[in-house]
Amino acid sequence: MIPDGPLRRLLQAEADFQAVRAQGPGGQNVNKVSSAAQLRFDIRASSLPDGVKARLLNEADQRISADGVIVIKAQRHRSLTLNRAEALQRLTELVQAAQQVPRTRHATRPTRASVQRRLQGKNQRGQLKAQRGAKADAD
């Protein structure tokens, strides 16, 4: 569980919660009570830093729509309050993951020894395959 901090309070203030009916088994409780929580968070309209917004929008996540809205549905618990907390928890984890700036990759060249080992292995494999061919008559 992520502690209550400035990020969590910001997300809670900008997120839109809606009570919806839960799916799956549960008897009459599921049929009568809207205990699942659906959270909607508009990335573009939020007050998150631009870098975090860009990383969230570029993420290949099915919870992020083409409009830039994150939709999270929590329905694990029977209580709407617990489901709201779980949905907010998932949103916070998603945003915290986007806050991590990915390290840039610097191109490197293989060492001379590694190139030689690779070519030597290819040569040995080629010789092994060449031995499998039809034998030439020594007439």
pLDDT in tens, 4-18: 678 878 888 888 898
Rounded Cα gap, residues 27 and 86, in angstroms: 22
* pLDDT one-digit tens code per residue, 35-76: 889 999 999 898 889 999 999 999 888 888 999 899 999 988
Domains detected in the chain: 6-99 (3.30.160.20)
Of residues 81 and 139, more confidently modeled: 81
Residue 122 has phi, psi (to 5 degrees) of -65, -40
pLDDT at 78: 85
What DSSP designation does 65 have?
-
> In this model, does residue 1 exceed pLDDT 60?
no
pLDDT at 139: 54
What DSSP designation does 58 have?
H
pLDDT at 138: 60
